[in-house]
Amino acid sequence: MFSGIVAAVGRITRIDPLEQGVRLTVDTAGLGLDDVALGDSIAHNGVCLTVIGMDGRNAQFDVSKETLDCTVGLDAPGEVNLEKALRLSDRLGGHLVSGHVDGVGTVRRFERIGESHELVIVAPLALGRYIARKGSITIQGVSLTVNRVTDVNDGCEFSINLIPHTVQVTTLGSLKAGSRVNLEIDLIARYAERMMSAEGTHK
């Protein structure tokens, strides 16, 4: 589990093809690997990956074809938001995040408004029922609060207000209209929807 509070911005520096997927080499920058062991989990742009090798501040991760097919940002060199898995003693600064991407959204608008930025994203229609005003959502591994939600013809459009600090310490500042982003809906919303559908079945 993760919290959606990005600890460092790393960089994918090498991609080696596997029979089914790829092996990434990631410069973890300021993340710090002193307390990381082989087999531990680190989220990359919201995708939970397992450490299979370490060399200094570089770490290696295998990514399956299935993961590549349902996420973005792990198939080319570039910056990635990094977060180590939570320990029971850690402070939960964001919200509970599983590291399992639910869908890919498209940035409709990203513009500065005063000191902050407004980020508008269109999510797949199937995720719309889980996105609520003032609810939590994870974008590229970053825990954020939804300001507005509107159902549109091509999906569910929602807006996020980004404070300057979030823009500075994550990769979100590089987004633009047309960018694709990993989305994970709130765990509570997912389980609530499942409970409601199960109750309807047993009536």
Q: What is the token pair recorded at 67?
A: 């993961």
pLDDT digits (tens, 9 = 90+) for 38-88: 999 999 999 999 999 999 999 999 999 999 999 999 999 999 999 999 887
The DSSP element (H or E) to which 49 belongs, if any, is strand 47-55
Q: Which residues pair with 16 in a beta bridge?
A: 23
Identify the pLDDT of residue 91: 74
Identify the pLDDT of residue 202: 52
The DSSP element (H or E) to which 193 belongs, if any, is helix 187-202
Across the chain, mean pLDDT equals: 93
Domains of the chain: 8-84 (2.40.30.20), 103-202 (2.40.30.20)
pTM of full prediction above 0.95: no
Residue at token pair 């080696």: 16
- Is the model's pLDDT at 159 over the cut of 80? yes
